[in-house]
C-alpha cells in the first residue's frame, strides 16, 4: 500500500481530513495522559504524529509536511509539545537524512531518535575542512564487509553524550571532492573512537574533538550509496540551517524577551526605546518568515532558502544581545564563566547571550558561506572562483 494513499482518511487537507487528524491527536493526548515522557513520545511516533510527512511505520502518515503544524499547534495547546532540542542533531538533521537516504532497516533508528533514547552527533567538520566541508580528509577504506575509518573530526556538538554519530568520510581520494564521499553511522562507543571536550568562549564545553582510529563499521552502517555522501550531507546541512533559522519560538520570546527585560531592569531609558522597538519588529518579522518557511516548505525538504533564515537569525540575535549588553553599562563587562564551567544551567544573562550569539554566525555554516549559497543558489549569481569541480580531491592543494 502506498503510504500517501493510505486508508487513514487523513490525506486530504480539506475540512474532513483536518478533523480526522485532530481526532487522532486528541486520541493520542487522551491515551498518553500521565504517561512518562519517553513512553508518550514513543506513542506519538507510533501514531504517525512525529513527522506526519514520513510514511506510516516511520513516524508519519504520508501527509504533506505542512500538516505537522496542525499537530504541533494542538500539542502546544495541551502543553505537550516537546522541544526538538531534546535531541538536536538527531531530530534536526539525522532523521531527515535517514528518511531520505537510509535503508528500511536504518529507518528503525528513527523511533529512538524521536524519543531521545538514542542521542546523535554530526561528524562533519575537521581541522582542515569546515566551510569547505567537501574537502574533508577522514578516510574510510573497505575491508570485506566492513570499512575502516581513520581521521579527526572537530567542533562535534554533543559527541560526549551521543550514542551514534553520522560521519562523512572520503572513500575515493581520486574522485572529484564532492564525488568521493560516503556517509556512515558510527557507534560512538566502538573501539577507536576517542572524544575529547573543547571549551568555548562562554566557558561551556558542549562540543568536542573526535579521533577515529581504525574504527570498524559494517557496510550495513553505510547511509546512501558509496560516493553519494554529499547528497546525505546536503540533506543534513539544509535541515540544520532550516532548524537554526526557524527555531524562533513564540512571539516576543528568546533573546528579544531578554532585551526587553534588561531595558526595564535598567530604568526603561526612553532614548533607547526606538532602537528596542526596531529590534522587536525585526524579531517578529523573522518569526513570521520562519513560520511561513515551515508552512510552504517543498515536500522534498528544506531548500537553500533556509540559508536566508539562518543568516538573518544569526545576525539579529547578535544585534539584540549586543543591545542588551550595552544597556548594562559597566556591568556588561562582568561575566562569570565559572557558573557555566561548573556545568550549571546557562545563566539568564545578556553577556552570556551575547557570547553565545557568536556561535550562530559560525555553526551550521558561517554567515559568509550563507551569503555565497544565497548568491549562487537563490539569486543565480556566478559561482565563486575555485579549482574546476571535476579536479580529483588528491590533486587539490591543502
Ligand X SMILES: Cc1cc2nc3c(=O)[nH]c(=O)nc-3n(C[C@H](O)[C@H](O)[C@H](O)COP(=O)(O)OP(=O)(O)OC[C@H]3O[C@@H](n4cnc5c(N)ncnc54)[C@H](O)[C@@H]3O)c2cc1C
Please say if 240 is a catalytic residue.
yes
Cβ neighbour number for residue 368 with a 10 Å cutoff: 11
Question: Using CB under 6 A, which of 45, 51, 147, 155 touches ligand X?
Answer: 155
The whole-angstrom separation of Cα 277 and Cα 260 is: 9
Helix (H, G, I), strand (E, B) or coil at 151: strand
The owner of cell 494513499 is 5
Please give the C-alpha separations between residue 221 and each of 114, 120, 166, 169, in angstroms, as whole numbers: 19, 14, 10, 13
What minimum distance in Å lies between the beta carbon of 104 and ligand X? 27
What minimum distance in Å lies between the beta carbon of 363 and ligand X? 3
What minimum distance in Å lies between the beta carbon of 148 and ligand X? 21
Cell reading at 211: 579521533
The whole-angstrom separation of Cα 289 and Cα 309 is: 8
Instruction: Kindly tell me which of 325 and 369 has the beta carbon lying closer to ligand X.
Output: 369
The owner of cell 558561506 is 369
Three-state SS string over 116-146 comes to: CCCCEEEECCECCECCCHHHCCCEEEEECCE
Instruction: Specify the stretch interacting with ligand X by CB under 6 A; choose among 1-9, 312-320, 333-341, 367-375.
Output: 367-375
Q: Using CB under 6 A as the criterion, what x/- string covers residues 207-246 for binding ligand X?
A: x---------------------------------------
Instruction: Specify the stretch interacting with ligand X by CB under 6 A; choose among 103-111, 182-190, 356-364, 373-381.
Output: 356-364
Contact set for ligand X, span 185-214 (CB under 6 A): 207
Please give the C-alpha separations between residue 23 and each of 8, 106, 123, 360, in angstroms, as whole numbers: 12, 30, 40, 39
Cell reading at 109: 533508528
What minimum distance in Å lies between the beta carbon of 36 and ligand X? 29
Instruction: Specify the stretch interacting with ligand X by CB under 6 A; choose among 50-58, 314-322, 344-352, 364-372.
Output: 364-372
Show Cβ contacts of residue 211 under 8 Å, excluding neighbours closer than 6 positions: 152, 193, 194, 196
Instruction: Kindly tell me which of 114 and 155 has the beta carbon lying closer to ligand X.
Output: 155
Compute how many residues bind ligand X; rule: CB under 6 A.
19
DSSP label at residue 90? I
Which of 33, 56, 70, 240 is catalytic? The answer is 240
Cell reading at 370: 550563507
Q: Using CB under 6 A as the criterion, what x/- string covers residues 104-143 for binding ligand X?
A: -----------------xx-xx----xx------------
Contact set for ligand X, span 249-308 (CB under 6 A): none
Instruction: Specify the stretch interacting with ligand X by CB under 6 A; choose among 3-11, 94-102, 221-229, 368-376.
Output: 368-376
Using rule CB under 6 A, residue 372 touches ligand X: yes
Question: Using CB under 6 A, which of 226, 315, 328, 362 touches ligand X?
Answer: 362
> Nearest 5 degrees, angle CA 228-CA 234-CA 237?
140
Residues that bind ligand X (CB under 6 A): 121-122, 124-125, 130-131, 155-157, 207, 359, 362-363, 365-366, 368-369, 372, 384
Query: Among all residues, which ones are annotated catalytic?
Result: 240
Amino acid at each position: 500500500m502506498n503510504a500517501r494513499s493510505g486508508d487513514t482518511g487523513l490525506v486530504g487537507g480539506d475540512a474532513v481530513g483536518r478533523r480526522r487528524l485532530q481526532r487522532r491527536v486528541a486520541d493520542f493526548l487522551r491515551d498518553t495522559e500521565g504517561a512518562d515522557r519517553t513512553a508518550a513520545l514513543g506513542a506519538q511516533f507510533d501514531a504517525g504524529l512525529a513527522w506526519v510527512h514520513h510514511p506510516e511505520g516511520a513516524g508519519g502518515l504520508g501527509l504533506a509536511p505542512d500538516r505537522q503544524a496542525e499537530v504541533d499547534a494542538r500539542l502546544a495547546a495541551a502543553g505537550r509539545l516537546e522541544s526538538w532540542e531534546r535531541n538536536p542533531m538527531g531530530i534536526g538533521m539525522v532523521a531527515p537524512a535517514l528518511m531520505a537516504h537510509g535503508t528500511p532497516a536504518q529507518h528503525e533508528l528513527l523511533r529512538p531518535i524521536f524519543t531521545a533514547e538514542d542521542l546523535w552527533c554530526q561528524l562533519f567538520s575537521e581541522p582542515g575542512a569546515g566551510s569547505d566541508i567537501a574537502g574533508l580528509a577522514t578516510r574510510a577504506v573497505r575491508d570485506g564487509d566492513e570499512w575502516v575509518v581513520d581521521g579527526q573530526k572537530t567542533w562535534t556538538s554533543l559527541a560526549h553524550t551521543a550514542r551514534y554519530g553520522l560521519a562523512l568520510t572520503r572513500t575515493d581520494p581520486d574522485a572529484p571532492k564532492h564525488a568521493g564521499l560516503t556517509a556512515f553511522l558510527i557507534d560512538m562507543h566502538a573501539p577507536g573512537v576517542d572524544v575529547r571536550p573543547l571549551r568555548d568562549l562562554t566557558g561551556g564545553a558542549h562540543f568536542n574533538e573526535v579521533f577515529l582510529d581504525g574504527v570498524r563499521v559494517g557496510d550495513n552502517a553505510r547511509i546512501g550509496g558509496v560516493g553519494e555522501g554529499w547528497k546525505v550531507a546536503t540533506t543534513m546541512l539544509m535541515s540544520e540551517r532550516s532548524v537554526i533559522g526557524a527555531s524562533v519560538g513564540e512571539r516576543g520570546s528568546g533573546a528579544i524577551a531578554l532585551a526587553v527585560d534588561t531595558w526595564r531592569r535598567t530604568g526603561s531609558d526612553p532614548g533607547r526605546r526606538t532602537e528596542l522597538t526596531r529590534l522587536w519588529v525585526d524579531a517578529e518579522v523573522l518569526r513570521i518568515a520562519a513560520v511561513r518557511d515551515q508552512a510552504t516548505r517543498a515536500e522534498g525538504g528544506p531548500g537553500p532558502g533556509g540559508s536566508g533564515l539562518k543568516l538573518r537569525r544569526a545576525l539579529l540575535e547578535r544585534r539584540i544581545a549586543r543591545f542588551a549588553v550595552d544597556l548594562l553599562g559597566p556591568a556588561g563587562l562582568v561575566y562569570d564563566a565559572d557558573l557555566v564551567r561548573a556545568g550549571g544551567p546557562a545563566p539568564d544573562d545578556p553577556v552570556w547571550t551575547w557570547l553565545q550569539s557568536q556561535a550562530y554566525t559560525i555553526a551550521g555554516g558561517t554567515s559568509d558561506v550563507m551569503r555565497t549559497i544565497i548568491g549562487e543558489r537563490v539569486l543565480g549569481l556566478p559561482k565563486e572562483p575555485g579549482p574546476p569541480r571535476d579536479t580529483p580531491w588528491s590533486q587539490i592543494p591543502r
